[in-house]
Structure formats: structure tokens, C-alpha cells
Amino acid sequence: MFADLYQQIILEHYRHPQNVGVVDGSLQVRNEHPSCGDKVLLSVCVDGDTVREVRFLGEGCSISQASLSMMTEAVKGLSVDEVRGLYEKFREMLHGHEPDEDALGDMVSLQGVSRFPARVPCATLGWETLFRALALESHEDNPGQPCE
Amino acid sequence: MFADLYQQIILEHYRHPQNVGVVDGSLQVRNEHPSCGDKVLLSVCVDGDTVREVRFLGEGCSISQASLSMMTEAVKGLSVDEVRGLYEKFREMLHGHEPDEDALGDMVSLQGVSRFPARVPCATLGWETLFRALALESHEDNPGQPCE
Amino acid sequence: MKAVADSLWKQVREDFPILAREVHGRPLVYLDNAATSLTPRPVLAAMNHYYEHANANVHRGLHTLSAEASEAFEQARDKVQRFIGARGRESVVFTRGATSALNLAARAWARPRLARGDVILVSELEHHANLVSWHIITKETGAKLRFIPLADDGTWRIDLLPELLQGPVKMVSVAHVSNVLGGINPVKEVIAQAHAVGAKVMIDAAQSVGHMPMDFQALDADFLAFSGHKMCGPTGIGVLCGKAELLDDMEPVEGGGDMIVHVGWEESTWNLLPYKFEAGTPPIAEAIGLGAACEFLGGIGLDRVRAHTQELTELAARTLDGMDGVHVYGPLVGRLGPVAFAVDGVHPHDVATLLDGEGIAVRAGHHCAQPLHTKLGASATARASFYITNQPEDVDRLVAGLQVVQEVFGVR
Amino acid sequence: MKAVADSLWKQVREDFPILAREVHGRPLVYLDNAATSLTPRPVLAAMNHYYEHANANVHRGLHTLSAEASEAFEQARDKVQRFIGARGRESVVFTRGATSALNLAARAWARPRLARGDVILVSELEHHANLVSWHIITKETGAKLRFIPLADDGTWRIDLLPELLQGPVKMVSVAHVSNVLGGINPVKEVIAQAHAVGAKVMIDAAQSVGHMPMDFQALDADFLAFSGHKMCGPTGIGVLCGKAELLDDMEPVEGGGDMIVHVGWEESTWNLLPYKFEAGTPPIAEAIGLGAACEFLGGIGLDRVRAHTQELTELAARTLDGMDGVHVYGPLVGRLGPVAFAVDGVHPHDVATLLDGEGIAVRAGHHCAQPLHTKLGASATARASFYITNQPEDVDRLVAGLQVVQEVFGVR
Ligand SMILES: Cc1ncc(COP(=O)(O)O)c(C=O)c1O
Ligand SMILES: Cc1ncc(COP(=O)(O)O)c(C=O)c1O
């Protein structure tokens, strides 16, 4: 039995996800894992170099949705570089390294995913999408708008 | 060693094939075994129900050429039904049955082919072609001409 | 009932050493047969025998190894021919799999015969192999797909067929057994009605051949496609069976060795059936393995294979649908193999992962049937699929596993 | 020299149990490697391990068996990628074989890009796989084939290349090593010159990959095609390796599962490379077997494989050509694998059958190169082809066998 994969904190985020919704006038990016059907619409506001606001509408398994919920909580207020650093730590954990508990907070609960290679993409869907958004944001002809 | 396959009589027919050539104005049929490249041009004259003349131009292995040579000798003067009966006996031998030595004559030397399934088509190339010719011959709008 | 299913499982389990495997400390319960079936010893033995004793290329060799390989390869074709009741061996074209077979018929038969506005009729429950292959062709030709709709219980609205067959319907291409809903579709009726309006019919038999008796001639389909790996055979091989007169009329899609009579500098002439469609070195070991799979299943008897599989499938469908908070998609009877289901409050992926923790292999996702899932209103489902390597106890294990799932998610 | 070749053979013979086989009471001498190579134990073991321990479908499964199968399958792709020096794994597309790979590039890259009058340059020594695939495309597009002619010694008239590359040459598709003449062709030079005029280059590497070191990036070819079964791998698998930017730009030929991102009712969107070209269940066991073959050959070292094979090939070519009444086609040096020859007064089929009687497996026919044989003025040749499973003694056995042939036919 995989009790350690499905920790209570994951299930709580799954049942009561944080930062659900769309921010008007924000940069919005859709993503989907075709093989499993997990979907997300991420809206992101970046102010200068700082991630101001992130919300999501998602559909998918507990791992992908809980991970999205935790990510939106964790990245708010961070600089783009800090977001990168945090993701690096998260990814290392998913690839079997000891987690940096202080940095990762709630996200440590996803450590068990590292034993399920097929589920790692679930845990990273939100992050992938976030980086796509940030890449668009920094792009010359940024299709997004400054947040209201 | 396969001395019994390559009997002297086969090699003689191979080196000195009988009935080589083309009969002017006869029914002519080409045939080829694409996988091995054995080729034949058979010319046949049928008079009523009797095979009057058969000649061939061929290219191929000792088995196919010797078998052609023997066939042209054997069928001359036979009725179409007799040709069929003879081929039946020949085929039975190639499929491992005891040969009817009286009927088959020289062709008994090809008995060894029965142990080499890959070579059976060599031994039957000429016969196949002969039956194609006879089928054309009996066809309504026979493209052949009476022999001179 | 359990006794019947039990006896077949007991008979064959020794042939599947993988059944002795443990997963996460629990004996494996393999319920992913619709994705690929397990492979019995005699099939592996036949392939290993080829590699260890007659390892040679076919058709073109005069030496002993090649003659033996060619004989084994062509005998495999004969076994397949008898297994599916094709009229002649020239109807049996070896392909890479069912997908390749469906694409071959779509490209070589349908494409040159379709004009803008022509219709290809499929159903709403098709596997991507029988949809995307057509999307490619409709894009190239301007022909259109039309769909046989599903009733609420996941069966075809066969009553609508006369209407659906109106207009320039050139081809009907439908699944014999759905890989999600598991229903055995009334293909015989479809074939009769389609032929009456002059349309050709292809049956995607990936989930039926090897699971129930198949008689291609009696069925009177024009084409039949299936894979080796779903019927105890190896990966890397499938079959397009077609009526010889249709195959004869088709141009080859791939060119190369073995499919030609004569190759000149600028052009070539084609070999006879079935070789015209088998360019290059064929999947030799795989064909031999598929032949052995036909013998293996034939030895059990396809009626028995079907009875066993259908009993377990329907038992599972009935039992799961009876559980609190569990819903089965599709019909509860007339069902062969797959049982797709939902657990309230738990995403199918989580169902699959937690069941894996119990040693139970099920699949979660859209099962290569996205449009069907749109119709079902679910982006994913969990699917348990049954075959001869299952026993009634597996249904008990599945039920117990689902109870664990519900407990972990607190939905009980 | 013999010592070198001897030592490799001694090292590997235990891996090939089939070498212990007798044919007509004589120990087997297998000289038909250009048709298909023998398959070593580690390759069979890798495939059997898949079937016996991780027998599941790939990519779509969350359960343990499927995760293991997916990992083994994708690791096999990585092994192939490293083995041929492709830049990334997305360049490695699994196909049914070299023939399928050549046809895929011809249909998906060349066909939509060719107009009437455009030229595809091949050479006079091509295998049917690299001719008939083009005959199909030229018929559909009105493009034309042009041929790099052969010099008398069976090597390319590379001096004519600048001239041959004039005009609308869109694609150059040539064999790396001829399966008849055995010469290692100067493909690097062809690639450089072709690129200079803007043509793409495909290398038919069916006889070179696994026989000599291959570095796709250094070679700078656009496409590379080869088969598993000619390099110690299984049947049923091959590879089209392509530059990612070219593959990216190509439409898929087959539609089905795994090659899509989203499937709607009327149309679909394609998955990333390499999956876009791998519709349906891939040849899973076969890919794993091919990966094992790469490891097996890599363990020996491709330089050693080449040195061994080339030494034996050239020894055989030299020795046979030195025999009274025997003539070797093609170059006597720079030769890897195949040695096609003629025995005066004896048809090649008879040569092959009599050698079989001596336990020696050679091939006779046109070796899927009819146009080349037209050029050689022979409708058929006999061919002995060498690889790592051969030893110098095999050349002695071949010579003795040919003496028997000459005796039987009284041509000595
Ligand atoms: C040079 C060459 N190209 C292509 C092929 C075709 O390979 P396959 O038959 O495995 O598709 C072969 C082998 O027959 C070959 O020797
Ligand atoms: C109904 C149906 N059709 C077609 C296929 C495609 O089979 P394959 O992936 O073996 O080509 C499958 C299996 O995935 C299937 O279930």
C-alpha cells in the first residue's frame, strides 16, 4: 500500500486547492499531458522580476492538482530566479535526492512521487506550464498584459 | 554431398539441352521466377489436341534447364491430356512419391529435387509455362498461329 | 460459473511464468490485457527456436537454414489463415500491428477511391488507430467522417444505421469489441447493411481476434485488422486480412525486396498477394510467434476462451457497478475483456497507482479513445481488462483494492 | 591476420549456440550474414526478460510492469542513439526495418517536396529497398531517378558527382555498403557535395550500421536507415534516424495511438518526435532486443568488428578470385561483408545447393539488386557474406566446397 505517496497534506490540497481561478488581464497559458489527460490553465502576473499572482484552473489526478496548488502558494512573491531555484530543488527531490525541507515546505509531501517515474510528470505539469508562461512574459512581443 | 541430386543425366541435359530455339509462328510464352531469375521463352505448336513441337530459350540453373530439356523431349507427340497425366506423375515424384519410372524416363533423374523444397520451382518452371501456353491455345481468341 | 473460469486459468497458468511474479510484495494480478496480453511459453519457445536453430532470412535462400525459416514463416501464415477463417493465404498480410493494418487499408484501398464529400462511417467508440488513420486520409481527400452514435448504455444506435448509410458512404470501419466499453458490437448487421448500399467494411478486430471465434468468410467483412500482442502473440506483428479481389486491386504503399517481380531502373512490377504488401524482410520471428499463439489459443478452443473471458468480464462489471461510489461505463452484459470504471472522488490515475500498490495492474487514461471519453464526459477512466490469464479471485482482489483506494481518499 | 580474426570468433562463439548446429552432417558455416545475421544469447535474453518479467504495453501505463517496460523501451532508444551518434533521442524513429525506414523518409520527406522533373540521385548498386520505394514516389510525383554509375571494379564513378548533382536534385539516397559488391562507398564525399547544392542525403546503412563505427552527426547525413536483424538484433525492427529539424517538418504517414497530442472527432494534432512517426503499439520486445544488440556490439568494439569482418571479407574475395574458374564481383579491397562471385559453368543456384550439402550457407540470386545484376551482366550471382560469427577456417571450408562444386559439374 502506498500510504506514503498519498499523504494527508496532498489529499487536502487536492480536495481544497489554493489559488483556483483566472486573473483578469493576466498572461494565460494552457497545458495538457496528452497521454493522461491532465490539464491546466495557468494565469500569471509578473511585475518587473517578481511573480505577483498565480492562479489555475485544473483537471487531473491528486498529484497534479495538489502540486499545482502547492506551487501557486510557494511562488507568489518570488523573483523569477528564485522560482527557478525552487523548481531545481523540487526536481531533485522527484529524482530521488533528499529534499531541502526548509525550502520546499508542503511540497516535501510529494517526495513519494520519486518512486513512481510514471507520476513524475503529474507533479511537474504546473511547473512546466509556469516556465512556459515566464518565457512568454520575457519575450519581446509579450502577448500578456500588465495585471490590473 | 549431393551427388544424388546432380546426376550425370541432369548435367548432360544442362550442358547439351535438347530442343533449344524458337519455332516460327508458334505460340510463344515467357515466364520467369522473379526470386531466382530463372527465365524461359517457350514456343509450342499444338495441332488439334496434339502437342506437335516444343522448343525453348532458357536461362537458369541446371535443374530448371535440364528439366526444360527433358520436358520438351517427353511431351512431343502427346495429347494435352497425356501431358497433364505426365506432369501429375512428375509432380508426385517431386513431392516425395516413388516415381513411375516407365512413364517418366529421363525425368526420374530429377527425383532428388524432392529433398530440396526450394528447388522444386526450378524443376517445374518449364511445365508451368507449358500449361500457360496450352491454356492460351485453347482460349477463344488464341493469339497464337498454326505452325508452319 | 466460477468453476468454469477457474479451470481454464488452472490449465494455462503454468504457461505464463510471469503470473508467479510479485509486485510491491503482492502476487501480480494482471488486468491490463486490453493493452497487451501476457505471452505464453510455447510462443516464446517458437520464436527462440527460430533464432537458435533456423536463424535465416526467408524466401530468397536455397540453404537449409533459410528453407527451414521460410517454411516456418509460411506455415505461420497458414495457421493465421485457418485461425481467422480467411479463404486463402493470399488474404493474410503481415503488418507491424493493428494500427499499421488499418492505415494500410485506409491508404491503399480508401485513399485513391475517395473524393471530396465522400463519407467514411465509424462509430463514437473507436480507438485512435481507427480515427487518426482516417483523419490523415480525410485531410488529403476532402472526404468526411460520420459517426454511429452511442446509446446511453454504451451500445451502438444500430437503429440509425439506415439513415447513416445514406449518401456517398464508401467505407465503414468499426471496432468489433470496444477497448473501453467492452461491448461486442453487432458488426454482422453493419456489414450486411453497408454492403447493401455498396460500401466496403473494415473491422478493427484488435480486441476480438483471439478472444472469440472468428470466421472472416462467414462474417463477410472486406478487411479485418488485428495485432499479435493482444492475443498471446509477440509485439511487432499484426495482420491485415482482406478479400483477395480488393487486395489485388490495391497499389502497395511501401516498395522494396520481396514485393516485386521485376525491378528495372525506372520502374518495377509487383509480386502476387500477399507479398505485394510485405516489402523488405518481414517480422519473421514475430510471424512464427503469432502462428504459435494461434495454435495455443486454438488448443484451448476459442469458445472456451470467450466463455471464460466474458464470464470474468461480466462478473467484474456487475460487481464493481454494485460497489458504493463506483460506476462502470458501458454495458454490463455482452461484454468481453475491458471494464472501464470511475471511483467517485478519486482520479483514475490515483486509482491505478494505488491498485498497483496492491499488486493489481490496471490502466488509467483515455485508452486511445479521446473522442469516446468526451462523449462519456470523463477525460480519463480506470480500466481493468480480463483474459484467459485471469481467475475469479482476481475480481475479489480488485474489489479489495478499490476499497483500499476509497479508504485512502476517505471516500467511503 | 588470421590470429586477429580467430580471437574475436573465439570470444563470441559461445554467444551463438546456433554455430554448434550441423547441416547435412557437417558443422554449419553461416555465410549469409548480409541477408540476416545470427542472434546472440544476450539479445534473446533481453527479449525473453521483457516477456517473462515486464510484459506490458509502454507509455500509457501507471502500473509497475508498464513502467518497467516503458523504461526498457526508452533505454533501448538511448542505446541506439549513442550507438549511431545521433544528436538526440528524438532523432531515432523505430520502424519495421530498413525498408520501412527508407519508405518513410521517401513518403514523408520527399514526396510532398518533389515536383515533376525533380531528380533523386541514387547509384547503380542500390538494393530494391532504395529503388522501389522511389519508383512509387516518382510515379506519383513525376520526379526522376538519376544514377551514379559504377566503374568496372564496382566502385562509384565519384568523379562524375559534380555533373550528376546539376539541375533540380532534391534528394540523394545511397547505400553505405553494397549488399552485393561489399564496397564501402564514399558517402562522406557525396554528403558534402550534395549539401553544397542544397540536396538532402539519405544513407541506406543496412549493411554498415553494426559492422563499422557510425557517427551520424559527424557524417552529417540527413537520414540514415538500417535494420536490427542484420546487426545481431531481432527481426521486426529497424530505425530511421533523421535530423530533428527535418523530422519535425514532416507529416506522419500512419495515424493511431501514441503519435497524437489531441484527437477530436474530425482531426488530430501530432505528438513530439520521435513519437509522431510511431503510431500504435511499437515493436517493444524488438526495440529492447536492438538495444541489447547495440550493447553487445559496443562491448566488442566497432573498430574490432569492422577489422575482423573486413579482414575475412577481403581474404575470401582474394582467395576466391584466385581460384581457377571463379570470379569475384566488385573490389577486392575496401570490402566489408559480402563477396558475390561466379563459378564458370555452374549456375549460382547450383553452387548454393551444393555448398549447402557441405554445410555452407551462401545465397544465390539477385540479392534484391536486379538493376545491378543487369549491369554486371548476370541474372544471378552466388554470395558469401561475412561477419563476427565467422572465422578464417570458414574461408577454407568455402574453398573446399567450391572445389566439390567444380568437380560435380566437371568444370575443373
Ligand atoms: C543495402 C540494403 N538496403 C536495404 C535492405 C533492406 O533491409 P530489410 O529487408 O531488413 O528491410 C537490405 C537488406 O536486405 C540491404 O542489404
Ligand atoms: C480496438 C483497438 N484497435 C486498435 C488498436 C491498436 O493496436 P496496436 O497498438 O497493436 O497497433 C487497439 C489497441 O491498442 C485497440 O484496442
C238-281: per-residue pLDDT in tens? 999 999 999 999 999 999 999 998 999 999 999 999 999 999 99
In DSSP terms, C340 is beta-bridged to: C383
Which chains pack against B, by 3+ Cβ pairs within 8 A? C, D
* Pairwise CA distance, residues D116 & A62, whole Å: 56
Q: Classify C373 in phi/psi space as left (phi over 0), alpha (psi -120 to 50) or beta.
A: alpha
- From D232, D385, D238, select the one nearest D300 (Cα to Cα): D232
Mean per-residue pLDDT for D339-354? Answer: 96
Indicate whether B145 pLDDT > 80. Answer: no
> Are the C-beta atoms of residues C343 and C325 closer than 8 Å to each other?
yes
Name the closest-CA residue to atom 12, ligand 2.
Answer: C206
Higher-scoring residue by pLDDT: B115, C86: C86
Q: Which 3 state secondary structure label does DSSP give C385?
A: strand
Amino acid identity for residue C113 in this structure:
R
Helices (H) and strands (E) in chain D, counts: 14, 17
Amino acid identity for residue C70 in this structure:
S
Neighbours of B140 (CB within 10 A): 4
pLDDT digits (tens, 9 = 90+) for D132-186: 999 999 999 999 999 999 999 999 999 999 999 999 999 999 999 999 999 999 9
Q: Using a CB–CB cutoff of 8 Å, tell me whether D61 touches chain B.
A: no
Domain around C15: 2-30+301-408
Burial code of C42-53, b = ≥16 C-beta within 10 A, e = fewer? ebbebbbbbbbe
pLDDT on residue C4: 58
Using DSSP bridges, classify how beta strands D260-263 and D268-270 pair: parallel, antiparallel or unpaired: antiparallel
Residues D72 and D199 in one domain: yes
Q: For the ranges A4-13, C30-39, D210-219, which has the lowest average pLDDT?
A: A4-13
Are C260 and B117 inside 8 Å of each other by CB?
no
Residues C291 and C311 in one domain: no
Residues C279 and C332 in one domain: no
> Residue A43: enclosing H or E segment and its boundaries?
strand A39-47
Q: Is residue B99 part of a domain?
A: yes
Q: Which residue has the cell 521460410?
A: C70
* B84: CB partners within 8 A, 6+ apart: none
Of the partner residues C59, C67, C71, the one whose CB lies closest to the CB of residue B35: C59
* Pairwise CA distance, residues D214 & D195, whole Å: 19
Q: Is residue A146 part of a domain?
A: no
* Pairwise CA distance, residues D181 & D396, whole Å: 21
In DSSP terms, C175 is beta-bridged to: C204
Burial class (CB in 10 A: 0-12, 13-18, 19+), D195: middle
Residues of B with CB under 8 A from a CB of D: 1-3, 5-6, 11, 35-39, 59-63, 65, 116, 119, 122
- From D71, D292, D48, D284, select the one nearest C18 (Cα to Cα): D48
Q: Is residue C39 part of a domain?
A: no
Residues C222 and C87 in one domain: yes
Q: Using a CB–CB cutoff of 8 Å, tell me whether C145 touches chain D.
A: yes
Q: Using a CB–CB cutoff of 8 Å, tell me whether C139 touches chain B.
A: no
Q: Which residues of chain A have pLDDT under 70?
A: 1, 139-148
DSSP C29-60: EE-BTTT-----HHHHHHHHHHHHH----SSS
Mean per-residue pLDDT for C159-164? Answer: 98
Task: Tell me how close the Cα of A97 comes to any Cα of chain C, in angstroms.
Answer: 22
pLDDT on residue A140: 47
Q: Using a CB–CB cutoff of 8 Å, tell me whether C334 touches chain D.
A: no
**Domain final residue pick, C231, C264, C299:** C299
Domain around A16: 2-138
| Polymer length in residues for chain C | 412
**Domain final residue pick, D235, D268, D299:** D299
Q: For the ranges C80-89, D56-65, D358-367, which has the lowest average pLDDT?
A: D56-65
Q: Which 3 state secondary structure label does DSSP give D19?
A: helix
Nearest CA in chain D to B65: D347
* Pairwise CA distance, residues C275 & C291, whole Å: 18
Catalytic residue ranges of C: 368
**Domain final residue pick, C251, C266, C299:** C299
| Polymer length in residues for chain A | 148
Q: Which 3 state secondary structure label does DSSP give C269?
A: strand
Instruction: Tell me the chain A residues in contact with residue D60 when contact means C-beta distances shorter than 8 Å.
Output: 35
Ligand 1 pocket residue status of D207, Cβ below 6 Å: yes
Written as nine digits, the cell of C143 is 472526404
Nearest CA in chain A to C380: A37
CATH at residue D388: 3.90.1150.10
E strands, D47-206, in order: 92-95, 119-123, 144-148, 169-175, 200-204
Instruction: Tell me the chain B residues in contact with residue C60 when contact means C-beta distances shorter than 8 Å.
Output: 35
CA distances from D110 to D39, D91, D106, D130, D186 (A): 34, 17, 5, 13, 23
* Pairwise CA distance, residues D251 & D107, whole Å: 9
Best residue among C95, C104, C127 to mutate for probing ligand 2's pocket (most ligand atoms within 8 Å of CB) is: C127
Q: Which 3 state secondary structure label does DSSP give D412?
A: coil
pLDDT on residue C146: 98
Burial code of B76-86, b = ≥16 C-beta within 10 A, e = fewer? beeebebbeeb
**How many CA atoms does the CB half-sphere of D287 hold within 13 Å?**
29
Are C365 and A39 inside 8 Å of each other by CB?
no
Q: Which residue has the cell 532523432?
A: D91
Dist. CA D179 → ligand 1 center (Å): 8
* Pairwise CA distance, residues C3 & D74, whole Å: 42
Note the ipTM here: 0.94
Instruction: Tell me the chain A residues in contact with residue C367 when contact means C-beta distances shorter than 8 Å.
Output: none
* C114: CB partners within 8 A, 6+ apart: C120, C137, C141, C142, C143, C170, C171
Task: Tell me how close the Cα of D64 comes to any Cα of chain A, in angstroms.
Answer: 9
DSSP D149-188: PBPTTS-B-GGGHHHHT-SSEEEEEEESB-TTT-BB--HH
Dist. CA D247 → ligand 2 center (Å): 25
Residues C286 and C350 in one domain: no
Q: Do chains C and B meet with 3 or more Cβ pairs nearer than 8 Å?
A: yes
Handedness of CA D233, D238, D242, D244 (dihedral sign): negative
DSSP B73-102: HHHTT-BHHHHHHHHHHHHHHHTTPPP-HH
Name the closest-CA residue to atom 16, ligand 1.
Answer: D179
Which chains pack against A, by 3+ Cβ pairs within 8 A? C, D
pLDDT digits (tens, 9 = 90+) for C41-52: 999 999 999 999
Indicate whether C32 pLDDT > 70. Answer: yes
Name the closest-CA residue to atom 14, ligand 1.
Answer: D35
DSSP code of residue C150: B
- From C317, C316, C293, select the one nearest C305 (Cα to Cα): C293
- From A45, A98, A48, select the one nearest A76 (Cα to Cα): A45
Burial class (CB in 10 A: 0-12, 13-18, 19+), C131: buried
DSSP code of residue D107: I
Ligand 1 pocket residue status of D97, Cβ below 6 Å: yes
In DSSP terms, C177 is beta-bridged to: C184
Split at pLDDT 50, 70, 90, the class of C62 is confident
* Pairwise CA distance, residues C200 & C189, whole Å: 13
* Pairwise CA distance, residues D346 & D410, whole Å: 10
> Are the C-beta atoms of residues C344 and C302 closer than 8 Å to each other?
no
Residues C367 and C295 in one domain: no
Residues D137 and D240 in one domain: yes
Q: Using a CB–CB cutoff of 8 Å, tell me whether C293 touches chain D.
A: no
Mean per-residue pLDDT for C168-173? Answer: 98
* C410: CB partners within 8 A, 6+ apart: A11
Residues C307 and C368 in one domain: yes
Using DSSP bridges, classify how beta strands D326-328 and D338-343 pair: parallel, antiparallel or unpaired: antiparallel
Q: Which 3 state secondary structure label does DSSP give C162?
A: helix
Written as nine digits, the cell of C137 is 486520409
> Residue A148: enclosing H or E segment and its boundaries?
none
Mean pLDDT (chain C) is: 96
Burial class (CB in 10 A: 0-12, 13-18, 19+), D235: buried
Q: Is residue D249 part of a domain?
A: yes
Q: Is residue D39 part of a domain?
A: no
> Residue D298: enclosing H or E segment and its boundaries?
helix D284-300
> Are the C-beta atoms of residues C384 and C31 closer than 8 Å to each other?
yes
Q: What total of structural domains would you count in chain D?
A: 2
* Pairwise CA distance, residues C192 & D94, whole Å: 39
> Are the C-beta atoms of residues D290 and D228 closer than 8 Å to each other?
yes
- Is D368 assigned a catalytic role? yes
Instruction: Tell me the chain C residues in contact with residue D132 when contact means C-beta distances shorter than 8 Å.
Output: 255-256, 259-260, 263, 268, 279
Q: Tell me how many residue pairs between chain B and chain D have CB atoms under 8 A apart.
A: 52
Name the closest-CA residue to atom 15, ligand 2.
Answer: C206
- From D126, B38, D35, B35, select the one nearest C272 (Cα to Cα): B35
Q: Is residue D124 part of a domain?
A: yes
Q: Which of D232, D241, D294, D368 is catalytic?
A: D368
Ligand 1 pocket residue status of C280, Cβ below 6 Å: yes
Q: Is residue D201 part of a domain?
A: yes
Of the partner residues A34, A116, A117, the one whose CB lies closest to the CB of residue D261: A34
Written as nine digits, the cell of B4 is 544424388
Q: Do chains B and A meet with 3 or more Cβ pairs nearer than 8 Å?
A: no
CATH at residue B100: 3.90.1010.10
With a Cβ cut-off of 6 Å, ligand 2 is lined by C 34, 97-99, 127, 129-130, 175, 179, 204, 206-207, 227, 229, 238, 368; D 257, 280-281
* Pairwise CA distance, residues A33 & A58, whole Å: 12
Q: Which ligand has its closest atom nearest to the C-alpha of D61?
A: 2
Dist. CA A30 → ligand 1 center (Å): 45
Written as nine digits, the cell of D195 is 549539401
Residues C54 and C16 in one domain: no
pLDDT on residue A1: 55
Residues D154 and D256 in one domain: yes
Q: Which ligand has its closest atom nearest to the C-alpha of C236?
A: 2
Written as nine digits, the cell of D84 is 549511431
Instruction: Tell me the chain C residues in contact with residue D136 when contact means C-beta distances shorter than 8 Å.
Output: 251-255
pLDDT on residue C196: 98
Instruction: Tell me the chain D residues in contact with residue A117 when contact means C-beta distances shorter than 8 Å.
Output: 67, 71
pLDDT on residue D86: 98
Indicate whether D397 pLDDT > 60. Answer: yes
Best residue among C59, C281, C284, C286 to mutate for probing ligand 1's pocket (most ligand atoms within 8 Å of CB) is: C281
Mean per-residue pLDDT for C220-241? Answer: 98
Q: Which residue has the cell 484501398?
A: C109
Dist. CA C82 → ligand 1 center (Å): 31
Which atom of ligand 2 is closest in space to residue C227's alpha carbon?
A: 10
Written as nine digits, the cell of C87 is 479463404
Residues D184 and D143 in one domain: yes
Q: What percent of chain D has pLDDT over 90?
A: 96
Q: Is residue A148 part of a domain?
A: no
Q: What total of structural domains would you count in chain B?
A: 1
DSSP A46-75: EETTEEEEEEEEEES-HHHHHHHHHHHHHH
Q: Is residue C36 part of a domain?
A: no
Written as nine digits, the cell of C180 is 473501453
Tell me the Cα Rg of chain A: 15
Mean pLDDT (chain D) is: 96
Residues C19 and C91 in one domain: no
* Pairwise CA distance, residues D52 & D39, whole Å: 19
pLDDT on residue C5: 61
CATH at residue D266: 3.40.640.10
The alpha carbon of residue D386 and the mean position of all alpha carbons in its chain are separated, in whole angstroms, by 14
